[in-house]
Amino acid sequence: MNVVKKILFALVLVGGLSVASMAQKGGDGQKPPPKNPPPVINPGKGNPPPPKGGGDKPKKPGGGFALVIKREENSIYSA
């Protein structure tokens, strides 16, 4: 009897899932509205030339701002 219940449950499950998938597949048959055409981009002459004298461009740090890290290794020797 237990085997019959399992087989019946499997058949009902497969039938239910197939009915659900057919319901989703059918839909209402309406097509989605057409998309707008993409905007047209005309390439220009490229990037404008950089301003003379650097403008407000940040400058690289000089040698006075260099950071030196010294690594010290401490070892303990047993006597």
Mean pLDDT by 10 residues, the chain (79 residues): 95 94 74 88 77 68 57 59
Within a 10 A sphere around the Cβ of 34, how many other Cβ atoms? 6
Q: What is the pLDDT of residue 49?
A: 75
Stated pTM of the model: 0.35
**Sequence-separated (6 or more) residues with CB below 8 Å from residue 53:** none
Q: What is the pLDDT of residue 48?
A: 75
Q: What is the pLDDT of residue 25?
A: 73
Residue extents of the structural domains in the chain: 1-25
Q: What is the pLDDT of residue 8?
A: 97
End-to-end CA distance of the chain: 83
The residue type at 67: L
Q: What is the pLDDT of residue 5?
A: 95
